[in-house]
Chain A
Amino acid sequence: MKYFLATLLLVNSAFASDSFLKSVKKIKWKDMDVVWIEDDKFPKFTASIYFQDGALGEAVPGTTQLAFDQLTSGTSKENQRQLAEFFDFYGANLRRSVTHEYSVFSVQALTKDIKPVIGKVCEIFNDAQYPKEELSSHISRMKSQLRNLVTSHGALADRVFRKISLANTAYANPVEGNLESFDKITSESLKTRLQALNKTRKVLYLAGPSEVKNIREVIEENCHWKNEIQSVPQKLSKPSEQSAIYLVEVPNANQAQIRIGRYLTESEFEGKHDKFQFMASFLGGGFTSKLIQELRVKRGLTYSAGAYASMQRDYGRAGISTFSKNETAAETIALIREILGDVAGGKFQEKEFTHQINHEMGGYAFGFEQMNAFLGQLMLYDHQGRKYDELINYPDVISKMTRSELSSSAMEVFKWSKETIVVVGDKALEKSLSKIRPVRVIKYEDYL
């Protein structure tokens, strides 16, 4: 117990993040807002383009992601193979990330190749044709992969959980779309979507050696991006009470995937980002978190358990994710309920609370190590309308966190009657789960 006494003294965060953040420059290139970080560790660059538009801006689910995925399927000058050859030859790594509220297109390559690579990126954004044959082939593969999702029980649980926990909101559909929506997506609808994205507000997050800034000319002359459209906040009504457990039947499973959680409205998390994330980390943010200690270490019920509270600008989600063998799935859910109740009721030890504060403060500097993760953090803050100062002040906020703030955060976010519960597993689980809540058995095929 020597260790616990020692940790009662809070650690000091010696890392001066303010000087680090001073290296982040906000500049303007014509219509384009640019966030620039000089990084000369390696002769490579990262250019991430933030679009203030995501899946919420699409008429048919999956259109936005497909518009990004198929950018290299052909232009009026080059076919899919030629474009692939070009980007692969330079070792250019193209990535996209589409959320409901915003999208990001990222390019990583060697610094010396930045002009041709970014020039080609501009070309595909201006001239992507989405040829019918390539699109049809791609959609056929997407549908085939989706039908095979049952091979990954965890991914299936995540998908069904989103659709049920966000039912009747604009956020219910996964950004990748679904079997029905794929049939409605055409070359024309993708071009229309891309035109809208080209006009939407954008910010370029750029990191690399100083010569990387020389691409200003390429972007200004070739990309023709506009900042004409700004997204409008979406208001969500508060989630309703939940009365059932949804059991997603999969054949021959000897383990049950468990998802518990709900969506958060902007009014619920406004000004509470850090508190909610601290609470989620306390519950399920590492090997020493409450859930892992109770479920795995003390009882051997699972291999893994995690909790999260993630927020965009207008909506957020909070949840718990774990799994257990069929025989103990109900026991695991009951125990999670008990743990949530204990934390909300202040029934946790002082040493657990102090441990979590030390963990957050001591780990603060790691958020600055990897450039891509750091850029992503800045991007999220900008999207949420938060100032970078909040990032600097994070250790201060955490050091002042109180036990009652932790409890009230758990009470607000994880109110049991509002939590959606989804279990993916064998139908035989129905009997044991029904002791917790009435069970609705559903077919996974209805959620693809």
Chain B
Amino acid sequence: MKFLLPLIAFSLLTTSCSSLKKEKTLADSINLDVTEMKLNNGMTALIVPNSKLPIFSLYLFYKVGGKNEVPGITGASHFLEHMMFKGAKKYGKSTIDFIIEGSGGSTNAYTTADQTVYYENLPSKELETILDIEADRMENLLLDAEDFEKERSVVLEERKMRYENSPKGQLYQLLMSSLFAGTPYGRPVIGEIPDIKSVTREQMLAYFKRFYAPNNVTLVLVGDVNTRRAKDIIEEKFGNIPPSKTVEADHASLKDEDFAPKLQEDKVVHQKGESPNPIFMMAYPTYKAGHIKGYALDVLSSILGSGKSSSLINDYILIKRPIATSLYAAHQQLDKSGFFFVGGELVKGIKLEEFREGIKAKLKTYCETEITPKNVQKIKNNYLVDLYSGLDTNAGLAQFLGDRQTVMGDWRSYKKELNLYEKVTVDDVKEVCLETFAKPSVFTSVWNQNK
């Protein structure tokens, strides 16, 4: 038996991807069977059938996150994410989780600086029910006062777990607040403690009404569903929910320049924390999601910090006297900005300032020594393996499409993305390398020896 129906129709790469045939691009070879629908109220839905197993995944991407908050209500997006599981008008207190898990499904959500995403994995027969639930809580969230207070405690415990008792969590927050000082990206997505403690139900309700509307969401459905029936149910459940009249203006009011790091010179911030070894993150400002140079920056980050053969691993870890126990490099693209970062854990005895100066100089030399045709091709090969792995499940494909629709404005952008990755050249990567590492940087550390 074939293991899975052709969810994705591949006309396969017939040669080594180290020498992809020119006549067939990678983008040509991946064709997703996506049905897109746009409701009159502005809601976008994407449906991909896959009938191999009697299950499906549903993702709802709301364009609201930490960047939409203002001082005083930091953490509102995340707190609201918790409250979305506490009940709505039709599906009342403590019923949503029970319905989903009682049918064998699972559900969760996450909040970032740019979006809040809800997802469910369910048996096929639950399609109508879950769409009804999602529509109900989009339109009629309960925000029960008693639950609101209990959940406040839960959020505070989550904050302790992720940040207050985690030096690595503290380090990430320190980096963001230092790099994006004075911008919404500098605020913690989970919220400042006084704000979590003081935010009121009324403030939360107002925030909900601003952002939880059909014209601010992308729904992605992948799995064992009949497309026509799914479209009918989506229209029936969501079609009559009124759109927000203000959300587009809300988004338009957020200007890219208000989110840009304002670095004139290198910034160094050390924080005392309970890490016996120094841990650090160093970042350089780059570009927002979708910028053409982002693809070359992704390749650069992989050359420098992914895999045992990467430059940083070889020069700082796989040596006689290791300087670091772990190192990584990545390029993070946000809706309104972006940054390239290097981070890791250093061994005891390393002087932080010497290390900082050394690695800054090293990164510049890498632009000349490490950006080779072989290294660029290696990263493209790795990208392909990662791409397949990411699309292996209904949930993976839903996430893939939803991210592109929400961030890039069009799920079809994956084609352009694949083309751009395929076309990235050594010169492209060298150019972004030289440009990025010539900029001022932010260096942050957490260590129990810091003052």
Task: Let me know if B164 and A287 touch, CB within 8 A.
Answer: no
Closest chain A CB from B444 CB (angstroms): 15
Given contacts A80-B318, A147-B276, 10 further A-B pairs with CB under 8 A are: A19-B1, A39-B4, A40-B3, A41-B8, A88-B310, A110-B384, A325-B160, A359-B102, A362-B103, A371-B3
Query: Interface residues of B, CB < 8 Å — how many?
Result: 87
Task: Let me know if A3 and B98 touch, CB within 8 A.
Answer: yes
The listed residue with most B CB atoms (<10 A of its CB), out of A113, A286, A303, A358, is: A303
7 contacts between A and B (CB under 8 A): A4-B98, A14-B54, A84-B308, A87-B307, A109-B385, A150-B275, A207-B3
**A288 and B3 in contact (CB under 8 A), knowing A84-B309, A88-B308, A145-B325?**
no
**A365 and B53 in contact (CB under 8 A), knowing A19-B1, A91-B384, A303-B158?**
yes
> What 1/0 mask marks residues of chain B from 1 to 26 whose CB sits below 8 Å from any chain A CB?
11110111010111111100000000
- Closest A residue to B5 using CB positions: A41
CA distance A80 to B95 in the complex (A): 55
Task: Choose among A42, A112, A136, A366 the residue that contacts B10 (Cβ–Cβ < 8 A).
Answer: A42
CA distance A324 to B94 in the complex (A): 22
Task: Let me know if B157 and A91 touch, CB within 8 A.
Answer: no
Task: Choose among A134, A137, A148, A371 the residue that contacts B345 (Cβ–Cβ < 8 A).
Answer: A148
Task: Let me know if B13 and A43 touch, CB within 8 A.
Answer: yes
Measured between beta carbons, the chain B residues less than 8 angstroms from A303 are 154-155, 157-158, 161
- Closest A residue to B57 using CB positions: A369
- Contact segment of B31-39, B165-173, B212-220: B165-173
Task: Let me know if A91 and B381 touch, CB within 8 A.
Answer: yes
Task: Let me know if A81 and B318 touch, CB within 8 A.
Answer: yes
- Closest B residue to A445 using CB positions: B276
Measured between beta carbons, the chain A residues less than 8 angstroms from B2 are 38, 40
Task: Let me know if A84 and B107 touch, CB within 8 A.
Answer: no
B240, CB-defined interface residue at 8 Å: no
Closest chain A CB from B2 CB (angstroms): 6
* Interface residues in chain A, defined as those with a beta carbon under 8 Å from any beta carbon in chain B: 3-4, 7, 11, 14-15, 19-20, 22-23, 37-44, 72, 80-81, 84-85, 87-93, 108-110, 112-113, 133-134, 136-137, 140-141, 144-145, 147-148, 150-154, 207, 250-255, 286-288, 296-304, 323-325, 355, 358-366, 368-371
Task: Let me know if A325 and B157 touch, CB within 8 A.
Answer: yes
Task: Let me know if A369 and B385 touch, CB within 8 A.
Answer: no
B236, CB-defined interface residue at 8 Å: no
Task: Let me know if A144 and B374 touch, CB within 8 A.
Answer: no
Closest chain A CB from B196 CB (angstroms): 13
CA distance A86 to B87 in the complex (A): 53
- Closest A residue to B125 using CB positions: A14
Task: Let me know if B55 and A365 touch, CB within 8 A.
Answer: yes
- Closest A residue to B273 using CB positions: A151
- Closest A residue to B108 using CB positions: A287
Closest chain A CB from B136 CB (angstroms): 13
CA distance A14 to B12 in the complex (A): 34
Measured between beta carbons, the chain B residues less than 8 angstroms from A301 are 153, 157
Task: Choose among A44, A92, A137, A365 the residue that contacts B322 (Cβ–Cβ < 8 A).
Answer: A137
CA distance A250 to B308 in the complex (A): 33
Measured between beta carbons, the chain A residues less than 8 angstroms from B277 are 144-145, 147-148
Task: Let me know if B101 and A359 touch, CB within 8 A.
Answer: yes
- Closest A residue to B104 using CB positions: A362
CA distance A22 to B2 in the complex (A): 11
Task: Choose among B103, B152, B155, B386 the residue that contacts A11 (Cβ–Cβ < 8 A).
Answer: B103
Closest chain A CB from B320 CB (angstroms): 6
B300-348 interface (Cβ within 8 A of A): 307-310, 314, 317-322, 325-326, 345, 347-348
Task: Let me know if A252 and B104 touch, CB within 8 A.
Answer: no
CA distance A38 to B4 in the complex (A): 9
Task: Choose among B151, B160, B345 the residue that contacts A255 (Cβ–Cβ < 8 A).
Answer: B160
- Contact segment of B202-210, B387-395, B402-410, B419-427: B387-395
Task: Let me know if B54 and A365 touch, CB within 8 A.
Answer: yes
